[in-house]
Amino acid sequence: MPAPPPDEPSRRHHRPAPLFFEPPTGQADEEHFFALEKITDPRELLGRATELAVAFQAAADRSVEFQAIAAAQLADPRRFDSLPAAAIADRAGWTEDYAAKMIEYGRELQRRRP
């Protein structure tokens, strides 16, 4: 289960690295990960691995925001097909309490948008 949404947007000190695509599942060698195993200089390896970690975290944070917005949209009482938090929780694999928090977080994100 993902971590609860943050109260405030996190501040990043690193710019996310570009993600170079891995081969599709089934074709990728388990030993290879974004060619990090080919980097022999530990300074370069630390730098690239850190860039990737920041990029994946930024992608995860952004994905959670989209989850929250979708949850808020699904729970919108103005929709004829509005879903209760329990149904949203079931669809997303969350607890009902977490779904309620995500719905509120999504509504907050929607209010912030122009």
**What pLDDT is attached to residue 87?**
97
**What pLDDT is attached to residue 32?**
76
How confident is the prediction along the chain (114 residues), in pLDDT tens digits per residue?
455 554 444 444 455 555 555 555 555 556 678 888 889 999 999 999 999 999 999 999 999 999 999 999 999 999 999 999 999 999 999 999 999 999 999 999 999 987
**What pLDDT is attached to residue 8?**
41
7-to-3, 104, 105 alpha-carbon distances in Å: 12, 11, 9
pTM over 0.75: no
Provide the token pair at 38: 């080919």
